[in-house]
């Protein structure tokens, strides 16, 4: 345990990169929202930031710390339903990481965001003055369809975020479990075991991969 911390502080369940990913995503999504249709230069740049974060998260989902790995938290319908049936009880879940139901909401958010940024890349506004860096690959009508869908997908993202916040509120009020503190400090007081962290080299590979992909896309995917 890091720094010989007292047991009451709990075990570390989220690694640093997962927490930085989360809070950076919250900030950049807010920026993307506030600048949409207002300041398109900033809108595109915050969007590239979100792309970098998503690329990093996909890498971290296979190469990151144990609780960040998709294989560690994605469960089949049977286990997910079994967990859903325990939602009403006030018994706390001491297993580190996402619960089986939360895991699917995480995947839904990541998938919706991938579609969101993907469509933005091909979108153009009505007079073709503002566009995504890949809009040159499709005709104007297609880029307008991408823009419409880009706006619609944002409603889906918003819906999922509201559900996300409602779930966190439910855990706080009903189960008296502070999930936010754990996403901030990495530690969960009730956790039964700590995560197994990933190496620095893997972190570095993820960062380089994220920056390279976001940069390449921002430049219009031209070699
Ligand atoms: C997760 C990040 C993003 C969010 C939440 C988001 C959200 C939005 C929203 C709500 C609009 C509609 C604005 C309006 O017309 O009132 C919009 C428009 C637009 N977005 Fe994004 N966007 C994101 C990422 C991107 C990215 C990565 C690009 C491309 C680099 C992009 C390019 C555009 C373009 C070109 C429009 C104008 C479309 C039009 O006026 O019909 N967006 N975005
Ligand atoms: C833009 C809005 C947000 C988005 C898109 C978002 C997305 C996500 C994602 C993708 C994860 C999974 C983390 C991972 O495994 O990488 C997550 C987890 C989490 N988020 Fe958010 N989040 C948002 C806002 C917030 C806010 C405002 C809070 C706090 C009030 C919050 C608290 C948490 C917590 C506590 C977890 C861990 C849940 C657990 O214990 O399973 N999120 N969020």
CA distance 196 to 116: 32
- Ligand 1 pocket by Cβ (under 6 Å): 29, 32-33, 36-37, 43-44, 47, 50, 113, 116-117, 120-121, 123, 125, 130-133, 147, 150-151, 154
Shortest CA distance to 110 belongs to which of 146, 58, 159? Answer: 58
Instruction: State what percent of residues in the chain have pLDDT above 70.
Output: 96
Residue 150 lies inside a defined structural domain of this protein? yes
Task: State the CB neighbour count (10 A cutoff) for residue 152.
Answer: 12
Residue 109 lies inside a defined structural domain of this protein? yes
Pocket test for ligand 2, best of 34, 183, 191, 210 (most atoms within 8 A of CB): 183
Q: What is the structure's pLDDT at 6?
A: 41
CA of 37 to the centre of ligand 1 (A): 7
Length of the chain: 223
Residue 34 lies inside a defined structural domain of this protein? yes
Q: What is the structure's pLDDT at 10?
A: 83
Q: Residue 124: beta bridge partners?
A: 131
User: What average pLDDT does this structure show over 166-176?
Assistant: 94
Ligand with minimal distance to 22 CA = 2
Contacts of 180 (CB under 8 A, 6+ apart): 168, 172
CA distance 123 to 109: 21
Ligand with minimal distance to 166 CA = 2
CA distance 78 to 76: 6
Q: What is the structure's pLDDT at 114?
A: 98
CA of 34 to the centre of ligand 1 (A): 10
Pocket test for ligand 1, best of 28, 46, 47, 51 (most atoms within 8 A of CB): 47
CATH number at residue 94: 1.20.950
Residue 13 lies inside a defined structural domain of this protein? no
Give me the number of domains the chain comprises.
1
Q: What is the structure's pLDDT at 5?
A: 43
* Phi, psi for residue 81 in degrees, rounded to 5: -65, -40
Q: Range of 134's domain?
A: 20-218
Residue 203 lies inside a defined structural domain of this protein? yes
pLDDT reading at 26 higher than 60: yes
CB 152 within 8 A of CB 172: no
Residue 5 lies inside a defined structural domain of this protein? no
Residue 188 lies inside a defined structural domain of this protein? yes
Residue 1 lies inside a defined structural domain of this protein? no
Q: What is the DSSP letter of 95?
A: S
Tens digits of residue pLDDT in 84-108: 999 999 887 778 899 999 999 999 9
Band (pLDDT 50/70/90 cuts) for residue 7 is: very low
Whether ligand 2 lies within 6 angstroms of the CB of 109 is answered as yes
């Amino acid at each position: 345990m890091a720094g010989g911390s007292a047991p009451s502080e709990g075990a570390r369940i989220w690694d640093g990169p997962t927490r930085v990913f989360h809070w950076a995503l919250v900030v950049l999504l807010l920026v993307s929202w506030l600048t949409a249709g207002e300041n398109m230069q900033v809108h595109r740049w915050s969007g590239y930031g979100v792309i970098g974060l998503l690329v990093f998260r996909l890498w971290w989902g296979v190469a990151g710390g144990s609780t960040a790995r998709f294989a560690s938290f994605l469960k089949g319908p049977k286990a997910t339903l079994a967990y859903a049936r325990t939602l009403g009880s006030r018994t706390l879940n001491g297993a580190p990481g996402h619960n089986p139901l939360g895991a699917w909401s995480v995947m839904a958010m990541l998938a919706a965001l991938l579609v969101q940024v993907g469509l933005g890349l091909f979108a153009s506004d009505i007079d073709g003055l503002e566009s995504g860096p890949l809009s040159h690959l499709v005709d104007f009508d297609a880029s307008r369809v991408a823009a419409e869908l880009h706006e619609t997908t944002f409603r889906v993202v918003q819906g999922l975020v509201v559900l996300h916040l409602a779930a966190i509120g439910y855990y706080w009020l009903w189960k008296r479990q502070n999930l936010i503190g754990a996403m901030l400090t990495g530690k969960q007081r009730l956790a039964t075991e700590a995560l197994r962290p990933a190496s620095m080299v893997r972190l570095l590979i993820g960062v380089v991969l994220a920056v390279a992909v976001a940069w390449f896309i921002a430049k219009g995917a031209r070699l």
